[in-house]
Amino acid sequence: MAEGHHTIELIWKGLNVLLFLAIVYLFGRKHISRAFEGFFSKLTEGFESSERELKEAKETLERAKAEYEDAKRRHTEQIELAKLTAQQMKEEELKKVEEIASRIKEKAKETIELETRKAKEELLRFGMRQAKELALQRLFQDFENPDIQKKYAEKMLRKLEVQK
């Protein structure tokens, strides 16, 4: 019988709980449903807000990736442009250096020719002075001989007679 008493007691407790829930439902239905609706609406709004933020974050990420790729492309283009510019500047400078070297060689060649000509002229003058000095020395030596002096004097007299 203890078992039967226990069952009846459980049935009464169950009915009391059902009755309590029915009374709560009848009197608190509006408040509870508003509370649940508010909870679900907040939950839904939070979820939708999170979805919007996620979508915005993805869009921002895509824009950032696109900007990064664009910056990377521009960087590569600028590097290539800098290399090309450097190469052109190098070629221009090499041309200038070659032109300067060519002008220097030309000036050196002209200077060498001028100095060679001057040296030849100086050597020729030196040779002529030396030849004149040697000729004069030879003449003075030869004039010391009385026979040559006599022949010269006779020759000069004949020239003078012819001129008269």
**16/40 Cα distance (integer angstroms):** 30
User: Which two structure tokens, joined as six digits, stand for 119?
Assistant: 């040296």
User: What pLDDT, on a 0 to 100 scale, did the predictor assign at position 19?
Assistant: 92
- pTM, 2 dp: 0.42
Q: Give the HSE-up count for residue 153: Cα atoms under 13 Å, Cβ half-sphere.
A: 7
Task: State pLDDT tens for residues 45-93.
Answer: 888 899 999 999 999 999 999 999 999 999 999 999 999 999 999 999 9
Are the C-beta atoms of 136 and 145 separated by less than 8 Å?
no
**10/17 Cα distance (integer angstroms):** 10
Q: How confident is the model at residue 1 (pLDDT cuts 50, 70, 90)?
A: very low
* DSSP structural state of residue 1: -
Are the C-beta atoms of 152 and 143 separated by less than 8 Å?
yes
What are the DSSP E strand ranges found in the chain? Answer: none
